[in-house]
Structure 1
Amino acid sequence: MISLVRRTTALCVLGAALAACGTSGTGQTPRPAPSAPAPAPSSSPSASRTPTLAPGPAGLTPVFEHGPRTDGAKDGRKNGKTVALTFDADMTADQGPRAASGERFDNPQLIATLRRLKVPATVFMTGRWAEEYPDQARSLGRDPRFEIANHSYSHYAYTDDCYGLPTVSKDDMRADLERAYAAFEKAGVPNPMPYFRFPGGCYDKAALKELSATGVTAVQWDVVSGDAFATNADAVTRQVLDGVRPGSVVVMHCTRSAAPVTEEVVRAVVPELRRRGYRFVKVSELIGAANGRG
C-alpha cells in the first residue's frame, strides 16, 4: 500500500492508485517465478489451463490492461459484460515496526464482504504482506473465489521517477519478484498465478526485458478507483462506476490504514454493476477471453 511516510505526495496516487517505499528483496535464495502454476485442485486453474499472454516483441514480458470490449450480445456469449476487481495487498519491509505498533495493512472486513457478495477477485500481494499476514494469505490462496498474483516483494519501483518510490536496481528486479513467490510458498499459498503488477504501475522496456525469463504476464488496469488515502467513499464509487467498461480491470487496495473506504465502496459498486448487467470475474478469465478462450 502507498507508504504513509509519504503522505505529502500521496494525492498523486489518485491518478495512478499506487505508491510505496520498502526494502529491496535481495539476500535470499529466490524461488523461481513459475511460468505457470503447479498442478492445482479442481477449484483452481490447472497449469495447462492458466491463461497468460504470449511474449511481446523481442520476447519482452507481455502487458495486459483490459479484456475484450464486448457485452456478449453480438458474439453469442451468454455471460455478458465482464469486469475484474483487483486488490493490491501492499506492505513493505520497513513497515514491520508500524504493524507491530498496531497499524493494519490488512482488511479482513473487505475480504468478508467480497465473500458475502460472492465476488471473485484477484489479489496482487507483496511478499512482505504475505510474511506479515500468513494466515490471511493462505486463506485467500485456498479460496477458489480468489486468485493470488505477484506485486513484488519490496514494493520498490522498477523504474526511476515513480511517485517518489525507491527503486529496485535492474540486476535485482527478478530476485525481488522471485522472493515474493518464495514468501507465498512459505505462507502456504498454493498455486499463485503467473501474473505480476509493477509497484506504482511503473515499467519500461528495461523492466519488461529483465522479467521476461520469469514467464509472468504483467497486469495493469484501465480503471483507477482512487481509493488510496480516500476518505469519501461516494467519490470513489462514482469514479469506478464512471470508468468501468466491458472487460475492465479495476485497481483497488486491501489495506485498512491507507485505503479505509474500500470496503464501503465495494458494497456500493457491486450491486450497481450487477444491475447494469456486469459479471465479476478474475483476471485470469479476462486474459483467457483476450486469448479467444473465454
Structure 2
Amino acid sequence: MIPPARRIAAVTAVCALGAALAACGTERPAGTTRPVPARSSVSASPSASRPPVLTPGPNGLTPVFEHGPRTLGKTVAFTFDADMTADEGPRAAAGEHFDNPGLIGALRALKVPATVFMTGRWAEQYPDEARSLGADPQFEVANHSYSHYAFTPSCYGLPTIDASRMRADVERANTAFRKAGLRDALPYFRFPGGCYNDQVLRTLGGLGMTAVQWDVVSGDAFATDADAVAKQVLDGVKPGSVVIMHCTRSAAPTTETVVRTVVPELRKRGYRFVKVSQLIGESPGHR
C-alpha cells in the first residue's frame, strides 16, 4: 500500500470545510477498505471492444484499482474528475463554470491520453463537451455517479446518498451519458470524494464495474499556487501511478497550468502517458 501524498496546506483547509470537489483530500475516511482481487497472469493489451476490469473481490465485492504495475516501465495515467453535484444547477445558470475547455485543449495539444470520471449532472450541463470527449480516442470516459453525493457518511462535507439509491445513481449517470450522445463510457467508477467501505462495495457488486482510486493526489482542487501543485505531482509519480486532478474551472483554476508544467518534465524523466484502461489491462487480477 502506498502512503497518501502529503497535502498542500491551503487545499487541506478548504477540504476540511467540505468543499464540493471532495477528492482533493489525501487521507481516506476511517473504515474505508481495499478488497484484494484474485491474482492471475498478465495478459495482452486490453481490447477496445471489451475494456479490462478487475476480478471481483471476496463475496462479489466491487474490486478497487489504485495504480498499475511498478515494474513494467515508466507509465502514468492522468485522471480528471468532471464533477458537478446535483444541486449546483443554479450556480451554473448564474455563470459558474464547472467545465474546463482550456484544460482539454491543452491535453489535446500535448497529446496526453487521459481518463475522465464524469458525473451525470455534468454531462447534462455540458452535453456537447461530454459527447466530444467520448468521441475522441485520446480520452476515455467513466462514471463518477450522477449526483456526486457521498456513498459514505462524513465524506468531506458532501451530501450523502442513501444506500437504497446508490445503484440507481450510478445507472442514472450512464443514462445521462447516453442522452448526451456519449455511448462508450467504460465500466469504471470513481466514488465521490473517494469515500467507500465494504458495505458500499457489496451494494455495487454485480454491476460489473471496477472502482478506480489513485495513488497520487495533485491537490489541484481550490489551489491557487500552480507551482506547488506541480511539485506535488512530480514528487509523487512512480511507474504505474494514477494521478487525480479536476476538470472544473471554478474550483480547480490552476489545473491547465499544472498540466502544461508537469507533462514535459515527466517526459524528460522517461515517463509515457497512458489511460487507466491500459494500466488495468497490465495488472494482475484483470479479466
Relative to the length of structure 1, the TM-score reads 0.83
Q: 2:48 — aligned with what?
A: 45
Contact 2:114 2:275 in 1 (8 A): yes
Give the counterpart letter for 2:186 in structure 1: M
Contact 2:26 2:217 in 1 (8 A): yes
Q: Secondary structure at the match of 2:258?
A: helix
Give the counterpart letter for 2:25 in structure 1: G
Question: Structure 2 residue aligned with 1:211, among 193, 197, 204?
Answer: 204
Query: Unaligned 5+ residue runs, structure 2?
Result: 1-10, 29-46
Q: 1:64 — aligned with what?
A: 65
Query: Deviation above 4 Å: which 4+ runs of structure 1?
Result: 11-14
Q: 2:260 — aligned with what?
A: 267
Judging changes above 3 Å, is the alpha-carbon distance between structure 1 residues 121 and 12 closer, same or farther for their aligned structure 2 residues? closer
The percent identity for this pair of structures is 72
CA distance in 1, matches of 2:97, 2:24: 21
CA distance in 2, matches of 1:170, 1:57: 20
The alignment yields a C-alpha RMSD, in angstroms, of: 2.2
1:104 pairs with 2:97: yes
Contact 1:131 1:183 in 2 (8 A): yes
Contact 2:77 2:275 in 1 (8 A): yes
Question: Structure 1 residue aligned with 2:155, among 151, 162, 165?
Answer: 162
Contact 2:79 2:243 in 1 (8 A): yes
Query: Unaligned 5+ residue runs, structure 1?
Result: 19-43, 73-79
Q: 2:33 — aligned with what?
A: none
Q: 1:180 — aligned with what?
A: 173
**Cα-to-partner distance string for 1:126-164 (whole Å, 9 max, x where unaligned):** 000000000000000000000000000001110111111
Deviation at 1:7, TM superposition (A): 8.6
1:127 pairs with 2:120: yes
Q: Secondary structure at the match of 1:284?
A: helix
Contact 1:17 1:226 in 2 (8 A): no
1:245 pairs with 2:238: yes
**Cα-to-partner distance string for 1:21-78 (whole Å, 9 max, x where unaligned):** xxxxxxxxxxxxxxxxxxxxxxx8202xx110000011100000000012x4xxxxxx
CA distance in 1, matches of 2:133, 2:161: 28
Contact 1:17 1:251 in 2 (8 A): no
CA distance in 2, matches of 1:105, 1:277: 33
CA distance in 1, matches of 2:69, 2:15: 36
CA distance in 2, matches of 1:96, 1:8: 21
1:70-85 → structure 2 map (5 Å cutoff): 70=71, 72=72, 80-85=73-78
CA distance in 2, matches of 1:6, 1:234: 19
Contact 1:17 1:224 in 2 (8 A): no
Aligned residues: 256
Judging changes above 3 Å, is the alpha-carbon distance between structure 1 residues 102 and 17 closer, same or farther for their aligned structure 2 residues? farther
CA distance in 1, matches of 2:85, 2:141: 17
